[in-house]
Amino acid sequence: MNPRTLAALALSAMLVSACKLAEQEKKDAVSAPAPAPAPAPAPSVAPRAAAAIETTPGMPPVVDPNNVYSETAAGKLRPDVAAAPPRIYVPNRRSNDVSVIDQDTRQVVDRFPVGLNPQHVVPSWDLKTLWVTNNAERTTKGSLTPIDPLTGKPGKTIPVDDPYNMYFTPDGRSAIVVAEAHRRLDFRDPQSMALQGSLAVPQCRGINHADFSLDGRTAIFTCEFGGRLAKVDIAQRKVLGYLKLSKGGMPQDIRISPDGKVFFVADMRADGVFVVDGERLVEVGFIKTGIGTHGLYPSRDGTQLYVANRGSNKVFAARGGPGGVSVIDFATRTVVATWPIPGGGSPDMGNVSADGRTLWLSGRFDDVVYAIDTTSGAVQKIRVGTEPHGLTVWPQPGRYSLGHTGNLR
């Protein structure tokens, strides 16, 4: 065989071998599992931002429209407020004085006289003063006693007619004294308490507690002895309407939901909480809690509502009633925990500690204050004066106060 023939045969063999190799690679490619496709990049979907809230003029902006309590979270103490010693200020209605509890030691460290029938201790709009509302029931000797939270000491009492409770306009320009006996709201200078003007609320018998809309333009007041709510235009100072509650008939505290869409209304006779659409002023739900539903306090993270059940449907009751606390989940509007007071009790009004770990409530008919662990529901009792009522916890996180025992935002 000549060299040319040998070369041709060799080239043929190489071509056949290459073809076979290519054919085998093709088969391998078909039979082998295909590699998983690279995952497509996740679409960039930012949380849907709620529209900015157009507030009433002069009111601080709403930082998070989905959570009105965002600025009252643990750790958001104003520096000047954080300088105050951690205290609980307890107005004792029948002994006409204020007991002061050290939050750390849980001991009474001071007690001083104030006016007649002190009902609530109210942080001022600017968070610089704590006002004791002494309504001097069935007399004309009502007054307000200022407390300096930096020293814990009272100042000079100011004569004021029937101050059962007190709130502040969202712009901070007026204090709103709730003159319960007169069915009236008195707008006063927030420093001097000089009268600016009054609004009669004639169909609101027993007007006493309130909360404000998300934009600060309106407020809803509870009418304890009328079984209804009153909606008030704060800027125009006029009554917009009333809502007669469907059952129960003794509304107490009221708080807005984190998203501002509804209000939660404690009713002492209905033993539960009404859910009310504030814009339309209609009931949209009811949550059964416990006997004598009374005070309402949001948790520091704005996810839960602590409900004080006073243990009686009556204005005055015996010691050791079946009182306790219900915990409502804001999102589901259901009770997720129940904490009874060991041995019975009468939890009334109060607030949550700055770190959110302790719920402080007055024991109205048991002359004690309850320090309740917000994780376990464990209760510690501290003896105070006679018939403690609307205590406040200080300091508290927040930018400004709308009143009561610390409705901060």
DSSP string, 248-265: ---EEEEEE-TTSSEEEE
Cβ–Cβ < 8 Å for 231, 218: yes
pLDDT number for residue 4: 38
- Round to whole Å and give the CA distance between 170 and 364: 30
* Six-digit token string for 305: 């509502």
CA atoms within 13 A on the CB side of 371: 19
pLDDT number for residue 49: 58
Tens of pLDDT along 301-351? 999 999 999 999 999 999 999 999 999 999 999 999 999 999 999 999 999
* Six-digit token string for 245: 């509650």
408 in any annotated domain: no
Tens of pLDDT along 221-270? 999 999 999 999 999 999 999 999 998 799 999 999 999 999 999 999 99
Cβ–Cβ < 8 Å for 306, 297: yes
337 beta partners: 327
pTM of structure: 0.88
Cβ–Cβ < 8 Å for 177, 184: no
403 in any annotated domain: no
Cβ–Cβ < 8 Å for 360, 345: no
Q: For 182-202, what is the mean pLDDT?
A: 99
Which whole-number Å values give the CA distances from 323 to 24, 50, 106, 226, 379, in the listed order? 83, 39, 22, 24, 12
Degrees (nearest 5) of the Cα angle 356, 64, 49? 135
7 in any annotated domain: no
Q: What are phi and psi of 291, to 5 degrees?
A: -70, 130
pLDDT number for residue 50: 65
27 in any annotated domain: no
108 in any annotated domain: yes
6 in any annotated domain: no
Which whole-number Å values give the CA distances from 137 to 91, 120, 222, 312, 364, in the listed order? 15, 14, 19, 22, 17
Cβ–Cβ < 8 Å for 172, 188: no
CA 83 to chain centre: 23
Cβ density class 48-87: b for 16+ within 10 Å, e for less:
eeeeebebbeebeebeebebbbbbbbeebbeeebeebebb
Beta strand pairing call for 228-233 and 238-244: antiparallel
* Six-digit token string for 165: 């409770």
Q: What is the CATH number of the domain that holds 352?
A: 2.130.10.10
Tens of pLDDT along 280-295? 999 999 999 999 999 9
298 in any annotated domain: yes
pLDDT number for residue 257: 99
Q: For 349-368, what is the mean pLDDT?
A: 99
Domain of residue 253 covers 70-394
Tens of pLDDT along 101-142? 999 999 999 999 999 999 999 999 999 999 999 999 999 999
193 in any annotated domain: yes
Order of all β-strands in the sheet with 175-179: 165-168, 175-179, 184-188, 195-200
Residue 353 has pLDDT above 50, yes or no: yes
Residue 29 has pLDDT above 50, yes or no: no
pLDDT number for residue 59: 98
User: Both ends of the chain: CA-CA distance in Å?
Assistant: 104
Counted domains in the chain: 1
CA 6 to chain centre: 98
Residue 39 has pLDDT above 50, yes or no: no
CB atoms under 10 Å from CB of 362, counted, come to 31
Q: What are phi and psi of 269, to 5 degrees?
A: -95, -30
From 272, 349, 288, select the one nearest 89 (Cα to Cα): 349
CA atoms within 13 A on the CB side of 50: 15
Beta strand pairing call for 282-288 and 293-298: unpaired
Tens of pLDDT along 43-82? 333 445 567 899 999 999 999 999 999 999 999 999 999 9
* Six-digit token string for 185: 């709201």
* Six-digit token string for 43: 């679409």
Q: What is the mean pLDDT of the chain?
A: 91
